[in-house]
Amino acid sequence: MLNAQSLPVTGHVQLSVLGQYWLMPDSSSEAYRLGAALAQATGLPAPTAAILAARGYADGALATAFLSPNLKTLPDPATLKSMPQAVERLAAAIRNQEKIAIFGDYDVDGTCATAILTRYLRQLGVQPLLYIPDRLTEGYGPTPGAMDKLKDMGTQLLVTVDTGTTAHAALNRAAELGMDVIVTDHHQPEGALPPAIAILNPHRYDDTSELQGLCGSGIAFYLLMALNRHLRKSGFFAGSREPNLIQLLDLVALATVADVMQLTGTNRVLVAKGLQQLATWQHRGLAALASVAGVKDDISATSLGFSLAPRLNAAGRIDSAQAALNLLLADDDGTAYPFAETLNALNQQRQTMEKTILAQARQQAEEIFTEDTLALVLHHTDWHPGIVGIVAARIKEQFNRPTFVLGTDSNGHLKGSGRSIHGLNLGAAVHAASETLLSGGGHAMAAGVTLEGPNLAAFRVKLNDALHQQLAARTEDAHLPLNYRLAPRLKVDAATSPAGLTQALCNAMQQLAPFGPGNPEPLLALQGVRVTFAKPVGATQEHLKLRLSDATGQTNLDAVCFGAMSSPLGPLLANSNGRALTLAVTAKPRTFNGKQLMDIHVKDAHEGI
C-alpha cells in the first residue's frame, strides 16, 4: 500500500479510477501513534484525532487551541517592520485632515483591502480618494502616470494595498511630487525597496514577524489594528465612538480565501472569526451578493471561494473592478443589490467567455498532446487575458500537464497565465525561459508571462527544456513511465469502513473547519464499500446519487458523486455489481427538519486498496 511518505521503488503502483496516486496514512508512523493518544486524552473520534496529529496538533493544548480559534492569540501588529512609522504618518494625516488616497488592485484581495481601509477611515470622518487601475489598460500596480493623476487630485498621503513593493518608478515619481507613500503588500520584493515612509510587507528581508502568510487585506487589517490602538492611547476617540474592527473581518476572510492563502495559524483565526461576522449579514453588500449567488445559507470558506469571490473577480477580469468595490462599500440594500446583480451578470458573461475559450483551448491541446508531452502552451488572438488563467487551470486538470494559455493584450503582446502540477516548479521554469519574455514570474504552481508573438515557439521550447531538467533531477521515481511520474497525488487523511462513518465522526471532522490550503477538508478512504444503488441525477444527468453499504448490508449511507458520468467514475460506480471498492469521500454535517444528516461526496474510487 502506498503511504504518505514514499513512492514505489520497483514496479508500478495501481492508480485510482481517476488516475491518481493515493497517499494513504501510515499506521506505523509516529503521527498515527500520537493521534491514538490524542483520541484517548480528548475523547475525539480516532480518525479526527489522527488528522489533527498528522497536521501538527498532537499536543492536547495545541489541538484545543486549533479547534477554538481566538483573536487574543493573534501576533502583535507591532512585529511588522516599519509599523510605527506607518501608524505615526497615517495618524498625523487623519488629525491634520490631509487628503489621503488608497491605491488598490483589481482582484478580490485588492478590492477588499481598499474597502477595509475606506470603511475604517469613513468612520473617522475621512473621505479618502480611491484608485484601482484598469487591468487591461494600466496593468498591475502603481505607475508614474497614476502618481501624477493622484497628485493632481490633491493627494498628500498615498496608502497602497496589495501592491507597491516593487513599484520603484511609481514611488520615485511620488517622491519627486512630494507625495508621501505607505505601502501595505504581501508580494515578494525584488532587490532594494522603493522609497516610502513605510513598507509593511512581511516578506521584506529585514522583517522578523511571523506574518508571512497574510494576504494584502490581512496586512491592511493589521495596519488598522495598530492604528486603532495608537489613536485610542492618544485620546483621539474621547467623546466619540471607536470603530469596531471585528466588523471588517468578513472582508479579511473573503480576501484570504480568494487569494488562496494557507488557512493555518493567524489566517485560521481571521477566517474563522470573519465567517462568524459574515453570518450576522451586517455587511449589506456581501449579503446581497450571497443572495444573488444562492449561497446565503452556506457560510463557509467554500462558499467564499467558489461563489462570492468569482463574482467579485469577474468585474476586474472583463470590465472594471469599480462595481466590485462599490458593492463592498455599500451600506444598504438599495445600493447593494444593483451592484450584486451587475457582478452576477458579469460572472455569467465570464462563464460564457470561459466556456468558449476552454473549448478552443481543449481542441488545440488535443491536437498536439501525446503521452510524451510535458508542457502545453496554447494561444489564440481572441482569448481574453482576464480569462486565460481560469482556462489554464481547467486544461491542466484534464491533461495533467503544466499549461500556459495566452491571449493578446491591448499592446499586441501575448499575455497569459500558467498552472502547474505536483512536482514541477512553473515559476522556476519561467525564470529559465526569461530571455524569450518581456516579463514573467510566479511560483511553483502558477505563473504569468508577457512576450512578443515571434517568441512564442522559443518560449515553448525553453519552458519544456527547463521542466525536463527538473524532471531529470528527480531520481526517486525515474524508473516509472511519465504518466505515472506526473500522476496527481491524492492525500487520504484517514481510513474507515461504512459503519465507521458515523454522525459523530462527521460532526467532529467539521470542527477542523474552515478548510482550505494547509488545512484541507478531511478525505476518508471508505473501505469495503458495496454500491447498492446508483441513479443519474441533475439537469444533464451527469451526477450520480448513490447508496453505499458494506458486506453485512446493515450499514446504508446516502452519497453523491458530482460529475461522475463525465468521468471514468460514473461507469464504475453505476456498474460495480456489488464488488468491494474503496472510495475517497468527504462528509459534512447538515440539519434538515431538525434531523442531523451527512452530505457524503465521492471524490475517487480505487480497486487496489
Query: Considering the domain boundaries, does residue 299 fall inside one?
Result: no
pLDDT tier for residue 128 given thresholds of 50, 70 and 90: very high
pTM reported for the whole predicted model = 0.90
Domain boundary among 253, 278, 303: 278
Domain boundary among 256, 278, 300: 278
Distances 327 to 162, 339, 349 between C-alpha atoms, Å: 19, 6, 18
386/417 Cα distance (integer angstroms): 9
Predicted pLDDT at 18: 94
Could you tell me if 90 and 162 lie in one domain? yes
pLDDT tier for residue 13 given thresholds of 50, 70 and 90: low
325/113 Cα distance (integer angstroms): 10
Could you tell me if 263 and 160 lie in one domain? yes
Out of 200-209, 271-280, 435-444, 502-511, pick the least confident. 435-444
Locate 369 and state its grid cell: 498532446
Could you tell me if 194 and 91 lie in one domain? yes
Helix (H, G, I), strand (E, B) or coil at 575: coil
Could you tell me if 267 and 395 lie in one domain? no
Out of 233-237, 332-336, 588-592, pick the least confident. 588-592
Closest of 112, 31, 156, 95 to residue 494, by C-alpha: 31
Helix (H, G, I), strand (E, B) or coil at 522: coil
Domain of residue 390, CATH code:
3.10.310.30
Could you tell me if 538 and 448 lie in one domain? no
159/181 Cα distance (integer angstroms): 6
Tell me the HSE value of 529 on the side-chain side, using a 13 A CA sphere. Answer: 34
Could you tell me if 387 and 496 lie in one domain? no
pLDDT in tens, 98-113: 999 999 999 999 999 9
What percentage of the chain carries pLDDT values higher than 90?
85
Cell 497536521, residue located: 55
**Domain span at residue 219?**
77-278
388/376 Cα distance (integer angstroms): 13
Spell out the residues 6+ positions from residue 571 whose beta carbon is closer than 8 angstroms to its own.
none
Domain of residue 551, CATH code:
2.40.50.140
Query: Considering the domain boundaries, does residue 292 fall inside one?
Result: no
119/325 Cα distance (integer angstroms): 11
Could you tell me if 527 and 463 lie in one domain? no
Which residue(s) pair with 228 in the sheet?
none
pLDDT in tens, 351-380: 999 999 999 999 999 999 988 889 999 999
Query: Considering the domain boundaries, does residue 374 fall inside one?
Result: yes
Number of domains in the chain: 3
Count H helices and E strands in the chain, helices first: 21, 18
Locate 282 and state its grid cell: 451586517
Closest of 106, 149, 101 to residue 127, by C-alpha: 101
